[in-house]
Structure 1
Amino acid sequence: MKKQIIVFSFLFLFLSCAKKEKIETFPFDDFVFAGEALHSVFCIKFTKSDTVYYQRIFPKPIATSYAVINLEEKIKLSRLLRETNFEKFDTIYANQTVEDAQAYLINISNQGKRKSIYLYAREAPKELDRFIKSLGEIKKRLHFVPTNKRVDFGDLKSILPPPPPPMPVRNIN
């Protein structure tokens, strides 16, 4: 009986010390990616949890949904975010001579610090272009489910279309 206890103890100790895969945590508190084109406006929010939020802003009605990201996708996303040094990028990349072009907005929040990067008319460094394409691939693999939950996507003013002009007021005499 003593030999069995010793063998099991040794086996337990050996298995406990086996190298475990290190899963790095999500590098930001919030990461919001928004896109705007001629016929659509959307935003997607990644957080430290396994929930990803998506909101279609245009065409109306506004619709919010969520997806649960699996461990493999979360590891890919975390690696992608860690490998991209957002601090080195400017806050605006825009070609003002182009009208009605596609625009993107990246909003990052981490430990009270915020960074925004606005991209318009394909005026972005190649590294950011690759990053945006990778986010699109991750988004395509997620299955979003509608929700009524109110989600704060942060400041999206630079990507949202301007409000329509006010209706003319007619005087009744």
Structure 2
Amino acid sequence: MRISIIALMLILVGCKSPKKDYDFTFFKWNIHESYYLKFNSSDTVYCVDNYGFKEQTSFTILNKNEKERIQSMLDTITFPEIEAYESQVDDGETNAFVLKNKNQLKKLKIHGHNGPILFRLFGKSLDNIKNSHEFTKTNKKIDLKEINKMVISEVKFVPRKKDSLK
């Protein structure tokens, strides 16, 4: 009897759907705030606030429903082939999304009111999650290289030609 119970438990545990590992970063910038949210397959979310040229990292723990909603969205959302939707107006809001799982890297940057509505709604839901939690400061360094390639413009130095005097 004991062996049957152990065998049944092993079968039930083995039947669980495999946990999908992912690394997801969301970026939001507007005139009032600028921050990154970093999610992975755990229930911890990191926030890197970089408004006003400071950089403060903090974290919070998601409840089960929030974690499942984000996981479900990341499992089903389809990134468009176009990686950037930008309006001609410089002000407004920028949202960027970077999803790494297995060997895939998917990116999307939306500035203004352009871009897929599903991503704009997803960005609002992530912002709501951020605003509904208290975050605890930490000294942990968060890797933002991949998303920064999209959201931080490179400054290119072009030397001026010296004016010739005649």
- TM-score, normalization by structure 2: 0.75
Q: How many residues align?
A: 153
SS at match of 1:107: strand
Q: Deviations over 1:64-96 (max 9, x none)?
A: 00112232221111112222112x352011112
107, 115, 119: which one aligns with 2:98: 107
1:43-64, CA deviations, whole angstroms, 9 ceiling, x for partnerless residues?
A: 0100112221100111232110
Q: Does 1:59 align with 2:52?
A: yes
Unaligned runs of 5+ in 2: 156-166
Runs of 4+ in 1 over 6 A off after TM superposition: none
Point out the more displaced range, 48-57 or 139-148.
Answer: 139-148
Question: In the TM superposition, what is the alpha-carbon distance from 1:157 to its structure 2 partner?
Answer: 3.9
The correspondence of residues 26-41 of structure 1 with structure 2, limited to 5 A, is 26=20, 28=22, 30-41=23-34
Q: Is the 8 A contact 2:21 2:40 kept in 1?
A: no
Larger Rg: 1
Secondary structure in 2 matching 1:82: helix
* Counterpart Cα distance in 1 of 2:144 and 2:134: 19
1:161 shift after superposition: 6.9
Q: Report the CA distance shift for 1:69/1:133 in structure 2 as closer, same or farther (over 3 A).
A: same
1:4-37 Cα deviation digits (max 9, x unpaired):
xx7xx7xx68x959x89x6773452x10000111
Separation (CA, whole Å) in 2 of partners of 1:46 and 1:100 = 27
Q: 1:112 to 1:83 in 2, by over 3 A?
A: closer
CA distance in 2, matches of 1:145, 1:99: 33
Partner of 1:91: 83
- Amino acid aligned to 2:53: K
Change beyond 3 A, Cα 1:139–1:25: farther
Among the aligned pairs, what percent are the same residue?
26
User: Is contact 2:44-2:62 (8 Å) kept?
Assistant: yes
Aligned match of 2:151 in 130, 150, 159?
Answer: 159
> Does 2:76 match 1:77?
no
Name the SS of the counterpart of 2:53 in structure 1.
coil
- After superposition, the CA RMSD in angstroms is 3.0
Q: 1:107-133, CA deviations, whole angstroms, 9 ceiling, x for partnerless residues?
A: 111223212111011111212222212
Q: Is the aligned partner of 1:147 residue 2:132?
A: no
